[in-house]
Every structure is written in structure tokens, then in C-alpha cells.
Amino acid sequence: MTDVQVGSRLPDGLVERLMAHAAVAPGAARLTIEAPFDGRPLYDLPLSDETDVESCITGLRAGQRAWARTPLRERSRIMLRFHDVVMRRRNEVLDIVQWETGKARRDAMEELLDVCLNARHYARDAARLLTPRRHRGGLPLLVGAVQVQHPKGVVGFLSPWNYPLTLAASDAIPALIAGNAVVIKPDVQTTLTALWVVDRLVEAGVPSDVVRVVTGDGPVVGPMVIDRVDYVMFTGSTRVGREVAARCGERLIGCSLELGGKNAMIIRADADVVRAAEIASRASFANSGQLCISMERIYVHHDVYEAFAEAFAARAKGLRMQAGVGWGADIGSLISQRQLDRVMAHVEDAVHHGATVLAGGRARPDVGPYYIEATVLAGVTDAMALCADETFGPVVALYPVASDDEAVERANDTRFGLNAAVVTRDRRAGRAVALRLKAGTVNVNEGYGPAWSTTRSPMGGMGDSGLGRRHGDEGLLKYTESQTVGTQRLLGFGAPFGLSDEQWLGTLGAVMVAMKRLGLK
């Protein structure tokens, strides 16, 4: 356990020190933030207004020009220092994340590891992605071109409360390495985590006029940011994502959107049910199910359905709940009363329409005001809200299927396409099934960890689950503008030496045929 326990306060002076990175004027209106563990006041958050946002982004534009001139090697070194600073002060940020979200420390640890993986990856891959590249021109020896990546300018990050460390740091890292300035608009509930990230970036060497935080409710402050930045990275619901995309479209600026999901796992007939239950438990109940890539639907071959359902329900019943900062809990709190009401409404509607509760199904105010047991349901039908709509809580439905074909068909029967999983003893067959699933990431023999942790590979959604990708090359290049500088040598494209256009075309045609025969592009 850490030395901070539920019922005590955040370290003295921490909030005031971190608020130096927030764009708020003296005397700003304030909002009291409560700790999900116990509902007690945690700190008062000053709120940015439109003048604050305007002034913030104007200052970032000035700082960005100097930052973009900083050598790429130095920007990369700064991110490696950031990695070290985060690891050195990991207990401090794990405490803050737990206080603001109520999540179990093991789930906060996943965020910490994700941030460090991204810092290392992009610091070491940036030169490959951002060094100017030469390309052969249309006429060999006569034409050449160089491709250059320029930063967008100021990038705005609009993020929710469920993974505040990851969504503040891991997305900002590639944008900063690419030479952009960054403004982060976190959810009001998790602003302190975002401010801590900025404080660590500045400690590592990022100029304080290149990265800032604006505070306030998303529907109020979010549009202010979108109307002033050069690119938007949004994580959140599909409904709000459509609004963000439309607003960006009006300004003809780019955006990347990671949105909702109704993710499916397939348990094949050859699966080891004990191992499958352990994988499914982690995939469904991590972060109390408040994870856009967690599993909410599990399709189980009928040959192993009963054994799997028994093992999975037993695991769900055995998950430990405790309210407080520190190690020991398997499952944490939901974020708020609103989220608890939404999750319980899905469970109660399903039970009312005939679903069977195999595990959980109850709120647990004896643990904390927003706790709910890990819940496993059977007999879920199309008449129930949780069959198609994202629940975003520790609730999962089991469905028996007769074949891989049926499992794939039902898993793909959704407007979402974010994440999926296949559990099997036969990895080759598992990969074959994975290729048939309509999801941006698919994991074999795990729920989300392999795809999420492979930072060299892109991650994102299909369908109503979003646009663009984080991680991989695209996760950095999307924060840049490509420019091609072409150079003509000796002869121009016009007919030379008094040749007619027809004669010149004949010459060029002969050159094209020769290039094809030589295998040249």
C-alpha cells in the first residue's frame, strides 16, 4: 500500500502547484471535484472561459514556432527523459489517478506502462518517420523530389475520464515530437492527472509555452478548442464524435476519433475453459468495464458453453473490491452516480426482459457509492438495451453458438468495430477467425493487451467506432502535413531541341517502356 489512504487528502500544495499549467484567470469560477471512492470533496477546480482558451492557444502558437526549430534529436531525448521522470514518480501519479477515477491500482498501472511504452517507441522511431525522404522523379536523373513532414501547429486533445494518464500523455507524446504545441482539454473529473502530465513534460524539458491545459465541461470548452486549433484528437462517445467531426469539417481541419465499441470475444470449441475464463475476466472487467476496448459480448461454442459459463461466473464472483488508494483490489469504482445509474439500468432492463444473472448484478454501496459487482448475464436477447448498446461497465453477456461461422456472423452484427478477441488452442485457426472480424484490432488468446501494447502497430476503430489511428506510424504522421519539394534538372517537361510535341511524346513513351522493362516505378 502507498502512504495515502482513503479519507485523507491529496498532498499539501499539490493542487496549487499543478494548477500553474492550467489556462485560468484569477477569480475563475470553480467546480468541486469529488473522489469516487467515497464521494468526499477532493479539490476545487478553476474553470477556463473563452478568453482563457483564446489567450492560451495564442501563446501556444508563439511557442510552437520555436519548438519546431528545436532539433528532432533533442525533442526525442526530452521524451526519453519524460519516460524516466514518469517511472521515478510513478507512485505519485498512481495515487492521483486512483483518487480522481476510483479505479483499482492494477488498472492505473496499465496506464503508466502505456505511457512509458509510447514515450520510448516514438522517441526512437521519430527519426525514421520525420527525416526528409528522397523519391525518384517521373523522369530519372532529370526530376527528383524530397518529402518533408511539417507539424500541424497547435493540436487539441479532448479526452474523457476513464484513462486520464494514457489519454493525456500517450497521445501528446507523438504530437510534441513532431514539433507541435499541445492543448489538453481533459474531463473535469480527471484534470489533475492531465496537469501532472504537463508538469512532468516541463520537468523533462518541454517548454512551458508549448503544452497547456484548459479546464471545464466538454460541451462548453470543447468547441472553443476545436474552433482555434489546427488538428483535433478526440476520444469519447460516437454521438459526440460525430459533432466533433462536423465542427472540424466546417473548418477543414483534420481529426482523429476513437469512439465507442460493443466488443465481442469468441471462445472456440477447442478452448481451455479455465484459461479462457481467466482471459475473459481480465478482458471484461479491467477498469470496471469502463474501457472502450473491453469485452461486452462473449460467443461460446456450445460444446464448452456450460463449463465456460461456470468458470467465468466463479471468477467474476471472486473479484476483490475495496475503496482506497493502494494495491489489493481487482475491480474499482465506477466514476459517478450517473455512470452507476446507466449500468444498473442496462442490468435491470435485461433481467426484466428475461435474462439470467450468473454472477453479480448488484450495486455495492457498502464498498463505495458507485461500486457494482462484476456481472455476467445469460439469455440476453435483441429486446434488451445492453444487447446492442455500449454499457461501459463491468457487465458482459454470454451467448452459445454452434460454429465459428455463427460466432463471426454474430460478432460482426454491430454498427461498431473497435476491438475483438478469439480464444483457442489453435493459434493458426484463431488468426484465421480474427481476419474475418470487422474490428480495428483483434487479439488472439487475450482481450486487448497484445494489440494495445504493440505501439509499432496502429490501433483504432471501424464503422461507428471512429476515424484514424493511434499508435504506429499513423499515430505520429497524422500530426504532420506532408510537403513534396520537386526539383527539375537540365531539361524541362516541354519539348526540347526543337522537337515537336508529337516527337517529344514518342521519346517519353520510349523512356516509359524502358523503365517498365527495368522494373522501375
Q: How far apart are CA 297 and CA 204, in angstroms?
A: 42
DSSP 39: -
Q: Is 108 exposed, middle or buried (0-12, 13-18, 19+ CB in 10 A)?
A: buried
Nearest to 216, CA basis, from 53, 34, 15: 53
Q: 56, 116, 292, 387: which one is catalytic?
A: 292
Catalytic residue among 111, 258, 373, 390: 258
* DSSP conformational letter for 75: H
* Of residues 179, 182, 181, 188, the one with CA closest to residue 159: 188
For residues 255 and 245, the answer to whether their CB atoms sit within 8 Å is yes
Is 278 annotated as catalytic? Answer: no
Long-range contacts (CB closer than 8 Å, 24 or more residues apart) made by 385-389? 385/345, 385/346, 385/349, 385/350, 386/296, 386/346, 386/347, 386/349, 386/350, 388/262, 388/414, 388/415, 389/262, 389/346
Cell of 50: 473563452
Distance CA 424, CA 412 (A): 19
Q: How far is CA 508 from CA 186, 348, 491, 494, 519, in A?
A: 57, 73, 12, 11, 17
Q: Rounded CA gap, 82 and 165, in Å?
A: 13
Active-site annotation holds for 292 = yes
Cell 449500468: give the residue.
343
- The catalytic site residues sit at 258, 292
